[in-house]
Amino acid sequence: MRVLLSCFAILFSLSATCQKQIKNDKTNDVFNGSERDSLQLWFYDRSTVMGLNEDKRNEFYNTVLYHTYKMKALEKKEKGYTSDQIRQKFNELLLKQHKEVKTILDEKQYAYYLDTYDKLLRDIYDRKGWK
C-alpha cells in the first residue's frame, strides 16, 4: 500500500510539474488547481472501486494520464488549431484512450470506467461550450 501511495505521490508531483509546463505554454485550463486535485482523488477513488491490482492500476492510471496530457496539449497556441479542430482531435485521442483502456480492464471494469469518464466529459464539454 505504501508503494502504491508513493507511486501516486510521484505521479501527482509530475502532474503538477507538467501542469506548470502546460500553463507556461499558454493553454487555457478547463479546471483550476483545486478542481484538478479533487478530480485526481475522485478518479483514484473510482479506480479503487474497480478492484484493480497494483500493476493494473498503474497501467490504467498511466494510460489515462498520458492521453489527458496529449488532449491538454491540443490547446497550445503554437499548434494553431481552431476550436473545431481541437474538439475533433480531442475526440480522436479519446477514442484511442478508450481502446487502450479496454485492453487493461475486464468488461465490468470497462463499463464502470466509461461511466466515470462520461461524467467528467460532460463537465469538460459544458465548460468548453461543446454540445
What pLDDT is attached to residue 22? 47
Is this structure's pTM higher than 0.75? no
Is the predicted pLDDT of residue 85 greater than 80, yes or no?
yes
What pLDDT is attached to residue 131? 74
| pLDDT (tens digit per residue) in 7-48 | 555 655 555 555 555 454 445 565 567 766 777 787 778 778
Are 19 and 36 spatial neighbours (Cβ–Cβ below 8 Å)? yes
- How many whole angstroms separate alpha carbon 44 and alpha carbon 99? 20
- How many whole angstroms separate alpha carbon 103 and alpha carbon 108? 12
